[in-house]
Amino acid sequence: MKDQLESLIGQMVEGGIRLEEAVGEFEKKFIRRALEQSKGNRSRAAKVLGIHRNTLSRKVDEYKLTGNGHAHR
């Protein structure tokens, strides 16, 4: 997994992706996956992520994710 991550980071740097954008996309996808895994249960997803439920709720709103982790269209 470390090799895959290293390769992806290399591609992103070479492609001109800025750190802030990369971190935001990573965080959004990480949260989405935790919400999917927990079937939309924010308390369980927050526990998996190691963050407070209120923090998760704020980030769900920030990234415009639905309760099950999908982005609003």
Domain range annotation of the chain? 2-62
CATH number 1.10.10.60 given to 2-62: yes
- Using the predicted structure, report yes or no on whether residue 67 has a pLDDT greater than 70: no
Q: Which of 53, 49, 2, 3 is nearest to 29 (CA)?
A: 49
- Using the predicted structure, report yes or no on whether residue 47 has a pLDDT greater than 90: yes
Instruction: Taking residues 12-24, report their average pLDDT.
Output: 96
Q: How far apart are CA 28 and CA 61, in angstroms?
A: 11
Average pLDDT taken over every residue of the chain = 92
